[in-house]
């Protein structure tokens, strides 16, 4: 039984989509999400990611800001038109303006690179425990 003093752990399940052009980061995301209980698909461009998002039912999508073809912020804006799951932006851009742009575009969370797998798991736990979508995430 859960008591107020204990941490509530949300066990992820379902599908996840990773939209990331960097091979090393993509592989790390794949491993962390698979270890967290997700079935994972990946895309290396924004266009490919948008196409895959249309053909699968993902619970969470991670989006890199610096994609080679379409800006990650634009990918998130397009996803929000039809995707009601969780979106986590991942970027080396770490200014408050970048974070605000990601959240305004429709992301539920904005995680900066480099990150530790533990930080990603913690961010996923927090995101999955809250409602999805831009209206569910007020500015800090």
For residue 14, how many other CB atoms are within 10 A of its CB? 13
The mean pLDDT value of the chain amounts to 87
| pLDDT at residue 69, as a whole number | 97
Instruction: Classify residue 71: in a domain, yes or no.
Output: yes
Task: Give tens-digit pLDDT for 63-107.
Answer: 999 999 999 999 999 999 899 999 999 999 989 999 999 999 999
Report yes or no: 74 and 95 within 8 Å, Cβ to Cβ: no
Per-residue pLDDT band at 135 (split at 50, 70, 90): low
Find the domain containing 60 and state its range: 14-128
CA atoms of 138 and 31, how far apart (whole Å): 30
Is residue 22 predicted with pLDDT exceeding 50? yes
Q: Beta strand pairing status for 86-91 and 58-64?
A: parallel
Residue with tokens 């932006």: 89
CA atoms of 59 and 38, how far apart (whole Å): 9
Q: Is the dihedral of CA 74, 135, 120, 16 positive or negative?
A: negative
CATH number for 100: 3.40.50.2300
What is the total count of domains within the chain? 1
Instruction: Classify residue 49: in a domain, yes or no.
Output: yes
């Amino acid at each position: 039984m859960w008591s107020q003093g204990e941490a509530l752990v949300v066990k992820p399940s379902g599908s996840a989509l990773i939209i990331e052009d960097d091979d090393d980061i993509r592989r790390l995301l794949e491993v962390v999400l698979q270890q967290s209980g997700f079935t994972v698909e990946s895309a290396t461009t924004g266009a490919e990611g948008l196409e895959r998002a249309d053909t699968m039912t993902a619970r969470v999508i991670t989006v890199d800001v610096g994609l080679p073809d379409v800006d990650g912020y634009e990918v998130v804006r397009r996803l929000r038109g039809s995707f009601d799951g969780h979106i986590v932006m991942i970027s080396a851009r770490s200014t408050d303006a970048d974070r605000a742009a990601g959240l305004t575009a429709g992301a539920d969370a904005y995680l900066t690179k480099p990150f530790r797998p533990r930080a990603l798991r913690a961010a996923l736990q927090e995101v999955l425990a809250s409602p999805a979508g831009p209206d569910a995430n007020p500015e800090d």
